[in-house]
Amino acid sequence: MKDEPEIRIGFYVCHCGTNIAAMIDCQAVARYAAQLPFVAVSRDYKYMCSDPGQELIQRDIKEHALNRIVVASCSPLLHEHTFRNATEKGGLNPYFFHMVNLREHNSWVHSDGSKATAKAFAQIRAAIARVPHHKALEVLQVPIHPDVLVVGGGIAGIHAALTLANAGKKVYLVEREPTIGGHMAKFDKTFPTLDCAACILTPKMSQVKSHPKITLWSFSEVVKLDGYVGNYQITVKHKPRYVNEDLCVGCLECIPACVFKTPKFPDEFNQNLGKRKPVYIPFPQATPQVVLIDPEVCLNLKTGKCKQTCVEACGDRQAIDFDQRETFDDIKVGNVIVATGFKTFDAHRIPQYGYGAFPNVFTSLEVERMINTSGPTSGAIVGRDGKHPDTVGFILCVGSRDEKTNKWCSRTCCMHSMKLAQLIKEHCPRTEVYIFYMDIRAPGKGAEEFYDKSLRMGIRFIRGRVAEVTDWAVTPEEEGRLVVRCEDTMAGFVRRIPFDMIVLAIGKEPQADAQDVRRLFNMSCGTEGFFLERHPKLAPVSTFTDGIFIAGACQGPKDIPDTVAQAGAAAAEAMVLIDQGHIEIEPNTAHISEVDCSGCKSCLPLCPYTAIAFIETTKKASINAALCKGCGTCVAACPSGSITQNLFEDDEIFSEIAGVLAYE
């Protein structure tokens, strides 16, 4: 300690335009800092993060022989890296820098200038008391494993996987359903161009299957994730399909051969509108093109008593395997892209709209399947009573923009409903179609024109939130039909309009197990339950965990173009790490002073990463820096005070405490 040069602190307070300066008297802050111990230079500047701001630090380090830097500006989560770089460029170890959060934690949240300035004094006093204790630290470099795991095989996962694979990266794509394709595979046409969803999606699906760089694991789930950025160890569970994927050729001969002569069981892919057999393929272009057997309804798997006509039909291929069990694969990857998508709103939750009570109330996704030529009605719009409707009413924002259910906008239900309305009009031009809306949200390329086209096609738009759907007829015309009661806020009175079919444009929600997935991948969720991005504007596909990226509707409701754009962005972010080859890790790890350690073993059970080992020969504990993630829990618990955490040393924190309280 005695040999160390005298501490010379450079202090800089940033105006951030007026973001800080409008609330905090920055000049007073600079004057206050100037008379604090060890401060050699104290300045205020308009934008510290700008190039001239950073150069100011670098110049001062040389001219004033500074050896500690404090910048009071925004959150360290935003610009700590910027100023550490500037410190390093000035010739100092970057960890001689400390940051004070005057913007997010002060000027933006307070409204009394003198109190905000007083708080700023306390904040900077803490930092100036802290930095003399800072030590030069070495950055840890860890290599990045070049393989990537993509979780979820919807359009987001497919696009991300293909982008990476085309760039030559090895990708594992894990999908929990028997086929990839996600929600997009269920759509008939896509707005606003009305191109067929299957025509643009299925080629990408087969590319995934045939790509030499992609390992596709359908009907599989990630069950475990260990490690850290660049070095994740992952366990994937493969659920039994009772069909050997390597042997099945997708001839589908087993399906007609099944002892159930007609399909009897609800077909999930078709929103339970159609029926399937125990042995089935979700839809004709399913990828992989491999059948599966539903153990809940298969006679052989349930009772063991079946003629096994499917096995007979399979013949020499011997793909059917009733003894199949769960299997597991352990893989190593450097990055993970989570693209687990969304869940549609359960329309039963709004009983006044009659879903489940009235047979001819449908959800938009059900109509989507109905209108699809490969769907359960081969493209015909028919009610559950078997009749073609003459009048169809769409109710928008079901489970969206609603205090009682979900506050957020689904972002697609306006456009999606207009698309279905146009398709119904195309299929059967004399059908009367009404759309009940609160606002029509048609932003984006070609969307407003699409709305215009809907109007020109004669689709009627009624502005007002629907109160209820009822079968209680008050006029002979309403008899046997579904009546929508709604205030027409344009006309200014309450209307009753009878329909043959009602379509509920259901909103988007986080997946039911989003919380489990979040914990598995060490991510955060927003209040609504969608995965939280690192920054809403500047890091939209990154998470707070390095090497874990998000794409698509698992981050928030979005349409196909935005989903694909995000998937590409996530793939690019992963490639940045892969092509760098290594990542620098914050050196905030803990270490044990062997001299002071009493060998009490208190710390051993506290470490969640088993980074602490007890060395039997010396009877002392020791921390493996490569495993330590820098939480500091062991440091707080060590009774002899022999554990130190870099950047969060006891002395540093005690000086901060004294510092924040030194100013009255």
Partner 1 sequence: MNNEPFEPRIVAFFCNWCTYTAADLAGVSRLKYAPNTRVIRVMCSGRIDPQFILTALAKGADGVLIGGCHPNDCHYAEGNYKMLRRFQLLKRLLQDFGVEESRVRLEWISAAEGDKVKSVINEMTEQLRALGPLGMPAKFAAWDQEVEELQHQVDEASETEAAHA
Shortest reach from residue 318's CB to partner 1, in Å: 45
C-alpha span between 230 and 145 (Å, rounded): 5
Residue closer to partner 1 by CB (options 78, 299) is 78
CB of 102 to partner 1, least distance (A): 10
Site residues (CB under 8 A) for partner 1, limited to 519-548: 519, 522, 524-527, 532, 544-545
Instruction: Name the one residue in this structure whose structure tokens are 């002073």.
Output: 593
Query: Is residue 135 within the footprint of partner 1 (CB under 8 A)?
Result: no
Sheet containing strand 327-333, edge to edge, reads: 220-228, 231-238, 327-333
588 binds partner 1 (CB under 8 A): yes
**Among 40, 118, 299, 613, which residue interacts with partner 1 (rule: CB under 8 A)?**
118
Backbone angles phi, psi at 72, to 5 degrees: -105, 105
Q: Contacts with partner 1 in 635-664 (CB under 8 A)?
A: 635-637, 645, 648, 650, 653-654, 656-658, 660-661
The answer to the question of residue 495 lying near partner 1 (CB under 8 A) is no
The nearer residue to partner 1, 98 or 425, going by C-beta atoms, is 98
Q: Does 126 bind partner 1 (CB under 8 A)?
A: yes
Pick the piece of the chain touching partner 1 (CB under 8 A) from 110-118, 216-224, 275-283, 451-459: 110-118
Q: Are strands 342-344 and 275-276 parallel, antiparallel or unpaired?
A: unpaired
What residues have CB less than 8 Å from 648, skipping those under 6 apart? 588, 632, 635
- Does 115 help bind partner 1 (rule: CB under 8 A)? yes
Query: In whole angstroms, how close is the CB of 526 to partner 1 at the nearest point?
Result: 5
Contact 98, 652 (CB under 8 A): no
Q: Which is nearer to partner 1, 193 or 633 (CB)?
A: 633
494 binds partner 1 (CB under 8 A): no
What does each C-alpha distance from 150 to 83, 176, 383, 513, 652 come to in angstroms?
Answer: 34, 12, 39, 17, 41
Q: Which two tokens stand for residue 386?
A: 């078997």
Q: In whole angstroms, give the CA distance from residue 3 to residue 436.
A: 78
Return the number of the residue (494 or 636) whose C-beta is nearest partner 1: 636
Q: Given the complex with partner 1, which of 215 and 655 has the nearer CB atom?
A: 655
CA distance 350 to 353: 6
Which helix (H) or strand (E) covers residue 217, if one does? strand 214-217
**Exposed, middle or buried: residue 599 (CB in 10 Å: 0-12, 13-18, 19+)?**
middle
Interface with partner 1 (CB under 8 A), residue total: 51
Least distance in Å: CB of 426 to partner 1? 43
Q: Is the Cβ–Cβ distance between 232 and 332 less than 8 Å?
A: yes
Burial of residue 579, with CB atoms counted within 10 A of its CB: 0-12 exposed, 13-18 middle, 19 or more buried:
exposed
The footprint of partner 1 on residues 602-641 (CB under 8 A) is: 606, 608-609, 629-633, 635-637
Q: Does 123 bind partner 1 (CB under 8 A)?
A: yes
Residue with tokens 């980074």: 611
Least distance in angstroms from the C-beta of 332 to partner 1: 21
Which residue of 122, 140, 142, 572 would you call a contact of partner 1, by CB under 8 A?
Answer: 122
Secondary structure class of 130 (helix, strand, coil) = helix
Binding mask 68-97 for partner 1 (x = CB under 8 A): -------xxx--------------------
Q: Enumerate binding residues for partner 1 (CB under 8 A).
A: 75-77, 101, 103-106, 108-112, 115-116, 118-119, 122-123, 126, 519, 522, 524-527, 532, 544-545, 588, 606, 608-609, 629-633, 635-637, 645, 648, 650, 653-654, 656-658, 660-661
